Structure 1
Amino acid sequence: MTDPDVIAHRGYAGVTPENTVRAIREAAARDETAMIEIDVQPAACGTPVVVHDSRLEGTHDRGGRPLTDTEGVVWETPLEEITSARVMGTDETVPTLAAVLEAIPESVGCNVELKNPGTDDLRFGESLPADAHDDRRDVWQPFVERALEVCTPFDGELLFSSFCEGALAALREVTPRYATAVLVWDDLEAGLEIARRYDCEAIHPPRNAIVGTDLSRTEYAGLPAGKPEIDVLEEAHADGRTVNVWTVERWSQYDDLASAGVDGIIAEYPGLAGG
């Protein structure tokens, strides 16, 4: 069994209001936390803000509770309105990327997921044909440049990830300084192709993509139940890449994946390693 790095998903969204400064501070204070995962996209002015959904009221189920008390598309909303929006019925508000990075000590890393550059046309989870690479890179590059500008003063470890090849292409175009990771949805082969194309340091598959685990017999994140056709852990390790698996919610899932030899576990809750 390995001892995987624990990556706090949105600052352990299972116990604190996700992607808020409070969540980040509390996650960073836990000894087990190696890295904190956050989601970034632009406000109307282009300033990177830390929020997951494309709409401020939310597009994913959170037990019937809206994401914030404000409505509208994130990248069409003024920054002041976004940063005053209260998250999930609490007094916590949507922060800027700069505010979140200020809350993370340099001893804890930050996984910045490039969620959206400000468009509905994402080409999510695709390995793009050659004739689309430049176009998708250009779509992402202005926002990636803004995000990198904000990240420059941060002294801790930074890892940039995305489900969108265009984001990784833009990051590699702008600078080779930072580590990158491809997030995988329902196409493991595409994930490996993109990781090799941009020499990503890591690959982030869903929790049921790891061959030989009980989780591989369950349906999740677009992957069907049953043995995965590709051993993404074996292939990624053969390529020298780190494998960080998302999103883990129970100690038994953590134990299953740690036994399989993954390098990192993106966790919804703290304390899963002590099950």
Structure 2
Amino acid sequence: MRLLLTLFISFTFMSCSSNNTPQTFDLQGHRGARGLMPENTIPAFLKAVDLGVDTIELDMVVTKDERILVSHEPWFNHEISTKPDGSPVTEEEEMDLNIYEMTYQETQQFDVGKKGHPSFPNQERMEAKKPLLSEVIRTVENYTDEQGLPDVKYNIETKSEPMRYGVYYPQPEKFARLLNNLLMKMDEEFGILDRVIIQSFDPATLVEFYRLNPDISKAILVANRQTIQHYVNQLGFVPDIWSPNYELVTSRMIAEAHSMDMKVIPWTVNTTEEMNDLVEMGVDGIITDYPDSAAVIHRPN
């Protein structure tokens, strides 16, 4: 199934009539396949692989004992989380359940799959824990090897906000160092570094990671209308990927990014109409909660 889907996507994208359409395309499963499985969990990542993604997109935070945990928030989100006693996490208490103040073992007492996400009614409910980043990489690498599937890439987002340094997140230098150390170990085992992207809304973590490992691909996430040059000036280098909210994408933006040798991979694109519009404009990939929807993307007329 994955091979057929990959061939179909490759054919449609490479056949696009627009002169701006890229010859290669990066289909990324957002938090694995959030529309179908519990987000940022092993089942979601394996589902994304089965659906033929090129890249699994995920988020990471740090525990009290400096383990790198896959999670979108540095706390247990009330929309998806259940406490160790089986009761649901409430909105009022969620931010007090601070992962940066918990050991890895303490985080494993919470469930993030049984409740389901209210915004994704088709998401399959199941018992699930927040996994370690090392566990995700090891599981996916072993799975693709066992199934005879192509290697996938890892788009890893550092969750970081300046107002919360030292409270919910490490300082950027420490954050980058912990992540780089882990990736170097994983590379020794699986040879993944050329398949890793580090992305963030926080330029500071990208700057620190660039100092440690300039050769790994970097992506700047963008949720506002600041110019590309504004972010390049903040970073002090040109990132490999410009990753804006899909609603901000214009043909002019794509042309400017391409002129600076940046790929354009917007988030989070969840309808086939939106996917087709962006493909016609010439984006280099999309990040989606529904990687299965890419199977019906057609060549623009």
Matched residue, 2:154:
110
Q: Aligned-pair distance for 1:22?
A: 1.2
Pair 43,121 (structure 1): closer, same or farther in 2 beyond 3 Å: closer
Q: Corresponding residue for 1:134?
A: none
CA contact (8 A) 2:113 2:129 kept: no
Distance apart, 1:195 and its partner CA: 3.7
Structure 1 segment 1-275 matched on structure 2, within 5 A: 1=16, 2=21, 4-31=25-52, 33-58=53-78, 65-69=79-83, 71=94, 72-89=97-114, 90-105=126-141, 107-116=151-160, 120-121=164-165, 139-152=171-184, 153-154=186-187, 155-156=191-192, 157-189=195-227, 191-195=228-232, 197-211=236-250, 231-275=252-296
Q: What is the deviation of 1:67? A: 3.5
Asked if 2 retains the 8 angstrom alpha-carbon contact of 1:183 and 1:205, the reply is yes
Scaled by the length of structure 1, the TM-score of the pair is 0.78
Quote the Cα distance in structure 2 between the aligned partners of 1:244 and 1:195: 17
Q: Structure 1 or 2: larger helix share? A: 2
> Structure 2 length as normaliser, TM-score?
0.72
Q: Give the deviation of 1:118 after TM superposition.
A: 9.5
Q: 1:195 and 1:67 mapped to 2: Cα distance?
A: 37
Contact 1:8–1:270 (8 Å) recurs in 2: yes
- Residue 117 of structure 1: how far off its partner (Å): 7.7
Q: 89-98 or 146-155: which moved more? A: 146-155
Q: Is the 8 A contact 2:28 2:291 kept in 1?
A: no
C-alpha offsets along residues 176-223 of structure 1, whole Å, 9 cap, x if unaligned? 13110100011331x5432462221111011111226xxxxxxxxxxx
Q: Could you tell me how far apart the structure 1 residues matched to 2:99 and 2:253 are?
A: 34
Instruction: Quote the Cα distance in structure 2 between the aligned partners of 1:195 and 1:7.
Output: 24
Separation (CA, whole Å) in 2 of partners of 1:139 and 1:75: 12
What are the ranges of 5 or more consecutive residues in structure 2 without an aligned counterpart? 1-15, 85-93, 115-125, 142-149, 297-301
Matched AA of 2:200: S
CA contact (8 A) 1:69 1:88 kept: no
Q: 1:29 to 1:241 in 2, by over 3 A?
A: same
Across the two proteins, how many residue pairs are aligned to each other? 234
Structure 1, unpaired ranges of 5+: 59-64, 123-137, 213-230
Indicate the residue corresponding to 1:223 in structure 2.
none
Whether contact under 8 Å (1:42, 1:118) holds in the other structure is no
Q: Is the 8 A contact 2:69 2:133 kept in 1?
A: yes
